[in-house]
Amino acid sequence: MFLRQLFDEATWTYTYLLADEQSKEAIIIDSVVEKVERDVKLINELGLTLKYAVDTHVHADHVTGAGLLRERIGCKTGVASSEGVSCADMALKEGDSLQFGKYALKILETPGHTSGCLSFVCDDKVFTGDALFIRGCGRTDFQAGDANTLYDSITKKLYALPDNTTVYPAHDYKGMMLSTIAEEKAHNPRVTLGREGFVDLMNNLNLAMPKHIHVAVPANMKCGLDK
Ligand code: FE
């Protein structure tokens, strides 16, 4: 399987382009609107057919490129059904899967960072969005986030994947790019606290609001398009 990890330096966001080399069918995960031209160029250079542009959740820190990619390329967009994004072509839920060539991207509901967070599983890889970071996790203090729910999503769903599953997060702020389920089980400093310690820590992070939350969330409810 072809996999390319792409980075948006303004918001520390990882975008993932996955493709089946034979059929050339592709999926993009968590695109960023300012990086759509870069992504379209890469897709064209590689001769890929982008079938789907999906988001792990309604982001608060950047505007999705999904709607613009749909306009430019004609792909279908998808977010969690529970997010109520009416412009999306697909309302995704647990158990759904998106086929690209001989591969399937399976949808896992992993709420807690937001109430509609999804993770995407493909073979021995999991794209965890903001549910699980490398040695961290997404905050739980807005967009109906909940620390208890996130603890369940991580320990009951993501940690139930095989230990050698590679973890690809939606962000990293320390220059790390990927991890594994086994590594996070052993070394994630938040989750290894156990439920009580995790919830207590998450409820007392006292983080500033993301700079662009009041722009990004409404824009993402419109697939990143101002219409
Ligand atoms: Fe987020």
Q: How far does the centroid of ligand 1 lie from the alpha carbon of residue 80, in Å?
A: 13
Q: How far does the centroid of ligand 1 lie from the alpha carbon of residue 124, in Å?
A: 23
Q: What is the mean pLDDT of the chain?
A: 97
Predicted confidence (pLDDT) at residue 227 exceeds the cutoff of 80: no
**Ligand 1 ion: nearby residues, β-carbon < 5 Å:** 59, 130
Q: How far apart are CA 183 and CA 79, in angstroms?
A: 28
Question: Percentage of residues in the chain with pLDDT exceeding 90?
Answer: 97
**Amino acid residing at 187:** H
Name 196's Cβ contacts closer than 8 Å, sequence gap at least 6.
none
165 alpha carbon, distance to own chain's centre: 16
CATH (one of 3.30.390.10, 3.30.300.130, 3.60.15.10, 3.40.50.180) for 2-205: 3.60.15.10
Residue among 197, 110, 195 nearest 148 (CA): 195
Predicted confidence (pLDDT) at residue 70 exceeds the cutoff of 70: yes
Q: How far does the centroid of ligand 1 lie from the alpha carbon of residue 117, in Å?
A: 9
Q: How far does the centroid of ligand 1 lie from the alpha carbon of residue 47, in Å?
A: 31
Q: How far does the centroid of ligand 1 lie from the alpha carbon of residue 216, in Å?
A: 10
Q: How far does the centroid of ligand 1 lie from the alpha carbon of residue 134, in Å?
A: 14
Task: Note the pLDDT tens digit of each residue in 85-106.
Answer: 999 999 999 999 999 999 999 9
Task: Note the pLDDT tens digit of each residue in 3-58.
Answer: 999 999 999 999 999 999 999 999 999 999 999 999 999 999 999 999 999 999 99
Q: How far apart are CA 44 and CA 155, in angstroms?
A: 39
With bands split at pLDDT 50, 70 and 90, how would you rate the model's confidence at 182? very high
The residue ranges of every structural domain in the chain are 2-205
Q: How far does the centroid of ligand 1 lie from the alpha carbon of residue 130, in Å?
A: 5
For the chain, the 3-state helix, strand and coil shares in percent, each to the nearest 5, are 30, 30, 45
